[in-house]
Amino acid sequence: MPNPQPMPPPEMVELRPLPRGASRDSWRETVLWLVAAAILLFTGILKGINLVIVLAYLLVVLWVLNLWIASRAVRGLSARRLPRPRIQAGVPTEWAIEIRVDGPASGTRVIEERVGDSTAAWLIVQSGHGAVFQPRVRATFPRRGRYTLEPLTARSSYPFGLVVRTAKLLPADDLIVLPRPARVDTERLRAWLFRAWMGADDERRKLRRVVDREAEIHGLRDYRSGDPPRRVHWKVTARRNRLTVREYEDAAPPRLLLVVDPWLPLRPKADDLARLESVISLAAGVCREWRREAGARLALVLGGPKPGAIDGPPGPAITERLLIALALESGGEAADLTGALNELSRSAVVAPILVVSSRAESPVVAAVARAVGRPVASAQVGRPETWYQLP
């Protein structure tokens, strides 16, 4: 069996909507051609003109020949979708498809990748047996959510364009477009949480460990580039005549319980939808940045009509689950969060709690505080804070 012959790398193709009035089907050409052949045949028989009858037969033969060649051109194709990168709303992304030609070496085919009404297409011309073709798609999705990647198809109307034959190479698939995360400064967020914490002294001490991330002094060492100035031990520095810093044992990894209130009225307006997208973006930024630190834990409770909770050990897999849940959140009137809070482990419930909402004075803040028996910090996107910046 000959080795696959890779084809030259194709140009990037943008996923674009079809032009107005354009159609993927060419049944009109087929119908018109066969109607013309039928009219000629009827006229020739009626008038007794043999030349017209022969012309009608010729039209039919050409149509059958086109059908056979086009069917042959789409046989023997196989495909697979290469791993796709994480897709974020509003950010250009690319993915590749691998097409292998194990069928006839002659003929031309068009490979189509479709998402809704948008299409990316590539023309394969006279590829040899065993050729490998890797087209790439470039797309920008304006909104988060679930998109349907339609079956990958190959079509051919070679050589006359009278008949289109189509072959399905891959089944339909789902695309999850993640929300574009806000820029979140976790150090400023921890400091803001401590200032916003209005509970008792023992609650303040718990949160202080989250903010400072330091426990007992482990020892002293020479200053290294990047050490925070507040760790410099000035008395020892003066005595040794060189910068010396305190070295701490790490405290327990930071924890946070993030509660999202994706409120929407029954008849949302454009401003309501914009605030919902902002709060989802803010929550995505907190999830991504908080869990970036080694060992950090963040549990998520999503409000709305169908509350749910997500928690798990540190790692990229649980972070992906959090972002997907936010991507699929449609918003609505808030329901009772008691059941969702009960799904969490005790360690998640006793962690510092931050409620982010798309509305001012959200009742979810008071409801969560009653459920856990202590005050919670809250932020709403209409009141900007220094620890985040919306995209």
The better pLDDT of the pair 313, 60 is held by 60
pLDDT at 276 over 50: yes
pLDDT tens digit string along 359-379?
888 899 999 999 888 888 999
- Quickly list H helices, 79-133: none
Which pLDDT score is estimated for 92?
Answer: 93
Tokens of 272: 């309501």
Of the pLDDT bands very low, low, confident and very high (cuts 50, 70, 90), residue 216 is: very low
Which pLDDT score is estimated for 218?
Answer: 52
Of the pLDDT bands very low, low, confident and very high (cuts 50, 70, 90), residue 11 is: low
pLDDT at 382 over 80: yes
Looking at residues 143-163, what average pLDDT do you find?
92
Which pLDDT score is estimated for 226?
Answer: 65
Question: Closest Cα partner for 351 from 323, 311, 315, 384?
Answer: 311
Which pLDDT score is estimated for 219?
Answer: 65
pLDDT at 143 over 90: yes
pLDDT at 199 over 70: no
Of the pLDDT bands very low, low, confident and very high (cuts 50, 70, 90), residue 2 is: very low
Fold of 5-177: Immunoglobulin-like (2.60.40)
pLDDT at 70 over 60: yes
Query: What average pLDDT is seen over the chain?
Result: 84
In the block, tokens 């250009």 appear at 92
Residue spans of the domains in the chain: they are 5-177, 183-208+253-389, 216-250
pLDDT at 237 over 90: no
Whole-number percent of the chain with pLDDT over 90: 42
What does the buried/exposed string (b/e) look like for 207-240 if buried means 16 or more CB atoms within 10 Å of the residue's CB? beebbebbeeeeeeeeeeeeeeeeeebeeebeee
Give me the amino acid identity at 365. V
Which pLDDT score is estimated for 19?
Answer: 67
The better pLDDT of the pair 117, 170 is held by 170
| SS3 call for 15 | coil
Looking at residues 174-197, what average pLDDT do you find?
88
Q: Does the model's pTM come out above 0.85?
A: no
| Domain at 183-208+253-389: CATH code | 3.40.50
Looking at residues 52-80, what average pLDDT do you find?
92
- Quickly list H helices, the chain: 27-47, 50-73, 186-196, 201-212, 234-240, 270-290, 316-327, 338-342, 346-349, 363-372
- Quickly list H helices, 48-148: 50-73
Question: Closest Cα partner for 110 from 156, 142, 55?
Answer: 156
Q: How far is CA 3 from the centre of its chain?
A: 36
pLDDT at 316 over 70: yes
Of the pLDDT bands very low, low, confident and very high (cuts 50, 70, 90), residue 25 is: low
